[in-house]
A and B are shown apart, each in its own frame.
Chain A
Amino acid sequence: MNEELNQHLSQLLDDELDYQVALNLLQKMHTSPELKSTFARYATISHALKTDQFLPVPPNISENIAQQIAQEATYLLPQHKPAGHHYKRAALAASVAVVAVLAARGVNLPPLPATAPEATSLQVAQKTPAKPEGQTIANTALQPEDPYPLNARISDYLEAHNNSVYTGEVDVDFRPLTKETSYNQR
């Protein structure tokens, strides 16, 4: 085991050690003075062979640097996110805004005068506030007699908001939302 580690130290010195093995070895060296010392001796031999000079390196030098670094400010660089994230957020915010506007309009729309006295087409999609149970049952009982049936109102709404009319895929009698709301107020 020790021999294998020493061989890895020799390879690390020559920059010939695979990424993951080198990372593991450095982490072991961080806590092992013995490994640090062996690495220092290999480095000393290498330097002496090349320069005919002996240059000792005390093993605690990395600890001295670590102590000084510990007193330095920690790096927290801003994370650079891809530009697409901004578009996604903007699209999400826009969608939420549209839904909120539609919901608000639905709440403020006046009731239909003759054809649909109890509800507007937009109110169909909106959750109605809690009412006394008896009244809800009474309203439900009235639905079949409604002259402007629920299904027809949903169809009108969907037709007015069908994107296909904008793209020309379907040839329909396009009625924008403004028309839809205005004819209801007629």
Chain B
Amino acid sequence: MNSKTRPGEQLDEELVARVQRGDKKAFDLLVIKYQHRIIQLVNRYVKDPSEAQDVAQEAFIKAYRALGNFRGEAAFYTWLYRIAINTAKNYLVARTRRNTQYEQDIQEAEKIENAPQLQDMESPERQLLNQEIIDTIKAAIALLPEEMRTAIMLREFEGMSYEEIAVAMDCPVGTVRSRIFRAREAIDSKLSPLLEHGDFR
């Protein structure tokens, strides 16, 4: 293993090797780890959440079938990311062909990606619920103690690692870890009641 490999990448390498030796459960673990990221990625192309989930599932199946050719030149997630994007683009092209009977190619899918007005529009109810949830999260963040808010903002908005945040906030990495977790717990406690009563499909 490369000394610069992150712990997550080391785990991926191990799980991929297990899948390649015939261990299907190892692939389940990779799905559990990456399903949210892949759905969020696909959702940038396919705006309907339920369609995005279907496309994400298809991407995972394609990845499983292609895993025999994966030789680890790139990180597993980078490889999976490419498969997911291509699956999403192909889906958009196929859907457009079905709907309009026009010939379109991948480049045209790029145009769709950059034209939000052509993407799926959410229903008014869904937009309202979406706004309510976003407002709740923002309100929960506003109520956080200063250190927690800074830690989670640096993580989520700046994409900084725990070590970088520790340097920026002049505190141990363990404290950063704890602050980010506490911040998420605080937001989750405000969000959970909404999620339990909402219909999101």
Contacts and interface: CB of A to CB of B under 8 A. Distances in A.
A142 B188 CA distance: 99
B108 interface: no
Given A7-B178, A48-B134, A52-B134, A12 B33 contact: yes
Contacts, number: 154
A19 B10 contact: yes
Interface residues of B, number: 61
A140 to B, nearest CB: 59
B137 interface: yes
B102 interface: no
B172 interface: no
A179 interface: no
Given A48-B137, A57-B39, A62-B35, A10 B130 contact: no
From A22, A43, A65, A70, residue with most partner B Cβ within 10 Å: A65
Contact of A57 (B35, B157, B192): B35
Q: Is the interface of A mostly helix, strand, loop or mixed?
A: helix
Nearest to A74: B22
Interface string B164-196: 000000000000011011001101100110010
Contacts of A34: none
Given A7-B177, A45-B184, A50-B157, A66 B28 contact: yes
Given A12-B33, A19-B10, A23-B14, A62 B39 contact: no
B53 A58 contact: yes
Nearest to A18: B7
Interface of A: 6-7, 10-12, 14-19, 22-23, 26-27, 29-30, 36, 38-58, 61-62, 64-66, 68-70, 72, 74-77
23 contacts: A6-B185, A7-B177, A10-B180, A10-B181, A14-B162, A15-B6, A15-B7, A19-B14, A22-B7, A26-B11, A26-B29, A29-B29, A29-B32, A30-B25, A30-B28, A44-B195, A45-B137, A52-B134, A54-B129, A55-B43, A66-B27, A70-B24, A75-B67
